């Protein structure tokens, strides 16, 4: 999946900063989905349909009980996605 070209919908990646998945690997996955490649622009037109959240003080195990996760997910699902390629 080079450059996220096969993924057409929205993607939200959520990790803890003390997760089993290292932040560097989370960023690599985000980049494969098209995120973080360029400035999103003042109007968001340069943003991909992928979002990355690395949440403070959470592990691979505690992230599931964190109230921050539903808040991030709700905001992501409610937000319109730009038409970025």
- Rounded Cα distance between 13 and 54, Å, is 8
Domain assignment present for residue 49? The answer is: yes
Q: What is the pLDDT along the chain (85 residues), one digit of tens a residue?
A: 455 456 668 899 999 999 999 999 999 999 999 999 888 888 888 888 899 999 999 999 999 999 989 998 999 999 887 654 4
Residue 40 pLDDT: 85
And the tokens for 35? 């995120």
Domain assignment present for residue 73? The answer is: yes
Domain assignment present for residue 84? The answer is: no
Which domain covers residue 31, as residue numbers? 2-78
Q: H-helix or E-strand containing 46?
A: none
Domain assignment present for residue 85? The answer is: no
Question: Is residue 34 left, alpha or beta, with left meaning phi > 0 and alpha meaning psi from -120 to 50?
Answer: left
Residue 85 pLDDT: 44
Domain assignment present for residue 23? The answer is: yes
Q: How many domains does the chain have?
A: 1
């Amino acid at each position: 999946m080079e450059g996220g070209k096969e993924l057409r919908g929205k993607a939200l990646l959520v990790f803890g900063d003390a997760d089993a998945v290292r932040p560097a690997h989370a960023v690599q996955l985000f980049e494969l989905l098209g995120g973080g490649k360029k400035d999103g622009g003042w109007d968001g037109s340069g943003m991909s349909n992928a979002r990355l959240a690395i949440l403070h003080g959470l592990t691979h195990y505690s992230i599931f009980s964190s109230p921050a996760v539903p808040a991030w997910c709700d905001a992501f699902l409610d937000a319109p996605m730009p038409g970025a390629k």
